[in-house]
Structure 1
Amino acid sequence: MKKALVMLASAIAMSGAFAQTPAPAAAPASASAPAAKAGHERNVEDRIAYLHTQLKITSAQESQWNAFADVMRNNGQTMGQLFQQRKASGNLSAIDDMKQYADITQAHADGMKKLVDAFDPLYSSFSPEQKKLADVTFHQPGGVAGGGRAQHHGKRAGKAAPASDADVKP
């Protein structure tokens, strides 16, 4: 259960970094990989659109914004591929499971570094009002994670948090 929560938090973190909108409902088990991919891509695009509006991006900031949005898309694609590989792996040995999780964790860290590097020039171009909006938006529960940061004892905070740990399905 704990492993599933960590995996879920990682997936949410990279699929829509910086957004406060809840993740869409999970696709049915019978859904094909292309259909699941389309939903994941739509979720990333929804988060990009949300942030564009929330941060009041101006036409003068579009080039920096587009670079940032492209990193979000690339990070989401990378994490989506890694999680698809993990799902397709089936029954792994403990060491292979740990290695695969280490790869996901490293990809997450690398993606966040790229995201910070892309966000820095955009943030520098912000007006004082936009900086305040960004500071509030990214500091709220769920900020970077997008769907709720993991807190003590695996509980989540934010708008999309379940009412209790019992509401989280493995």
Structure 2
Amino acid sequence: MTFAHRKLLVASTLASAAFMALAQTPAPPAAPPAPTAVDAQPAPGTPRAGGADRRDPAVMQQRMEQGLAREKARLQITAAQEPAWNAFTAAIRPDPAQWARMQAERGEWAKLTTPERIDRMRAERNQRDAEIDRRGDATKTFYAALTPAQQKLFDERPMMHGGPGSPDGKGGPGHGHGPHGEHGAPAAPGAAAVPGAR
């Protein structure tokens, strides 16, 4: 077969394939699936995985209170341990004033220059580190007030900061990272379990 014949054969094959592709009638569009119970939107103010309610401070507070009540019952906190429990829960609760301040400052970031943003991020990191230390100290103090059996139960739970076994029963940030760090990476060996730590 000569070179010219090969070119002609290839060109005719490609033309035939293109013609057949154009000649086929497109399939009719599929009808949208019927809505199911899973697709139904929960009532406003009810917990759900996503949406605006997820970040509603009142909803978050309600979930935290429910989770803490379950944890208190699970640990079987005694009357003598009640002051330690109250101090612990007060220390791990988020500050509503801080949440409101963060929401109010959200629009200000667009007005900052890059160096100002870097300085702001550093200041916020220092605040978070101080908060983590405060919560860690409160957790250690509470842990010391528990009986050995209660300590074992407390140790079985992932952190109190939103891990899969946390009081709210939800995942951590992103709800997919779990207790092993960012994107499933194992936590650092010997890393202390501190509420609010990431």
Q: Which runs of 4+ in 1 moved over 4 A?
A: none
| Percentage of matched positions with identical amino acids | 24
Between the two proteins, the alignment pairs up a number of residues equal to 123
1:155 aligns with 2:155: no
Which gives a bigger RCO, structure 1 or 2 (Cα 8 Å, sep 6+)?
Answer: 1
Which of residues 82, 88, 102 is equivalent to 1:62?
Answer: 82
Alignment of 1:22-61 (within 5 A): 24-28=48-52, 36-61=56-81
- From 148, 157, 167, the equivalent of 1:128 is 148
Question: With structure 2 as the length reference, what TM-score do the two structures score?
Answer: 0.50
1:43-98, Cα deviation, whole Å (9 max, x unpaired):
3323322332333222211101101111122x343652453144232413322322
Mapped partners of 1:40, 1:95: distance in 2: 33
2:91 maps to which of 71, 87, 99: 71
**CA 1:145–1:119: 2 relative to 1, 3 Å:** closer
Structure 1: segments with no counterpart, 5+ residues: 1-22, 158-170
Matches of 2:48 and 2:120, distance apart in 1: 25
TM-score computed with the length of structure 1 as normaliser: 0.57
Aligned with residue 119 of structure 1, among 139, 146, 170: 139
RMSD over aligned Cα atoms:
2.9
1:109 corresponds to 2:142: no
Structure 2 Cα separation of the partners of residues 98 and 149 of structure 1: 28
Counterpart position of 1:83:
102
Does the C-alpha gap of structure 1 residues 144 and 95 become closer, same or farther in structure 2, counting only changes over 3 Å?
Answer: farther
> Contact (CA 8 Å) 1:55, 1:133: kept in 2 or not?
yes
Question: Which runs of 5 or more residues in structure 2 are unaligned?
Answer: 1-46, 163-171, 173-177, 186-198
Deviation at 1:155, TM superposition (A): 0.8
**CA distance in structure 2 between the aligned counterparts of 1:99 and 1:68, rounded to whole angstroms:** 32
Distance 1:87 1:127, change over 3 A: same
* Contact 1:24-1:43 at 8 Å conserved across structures: no
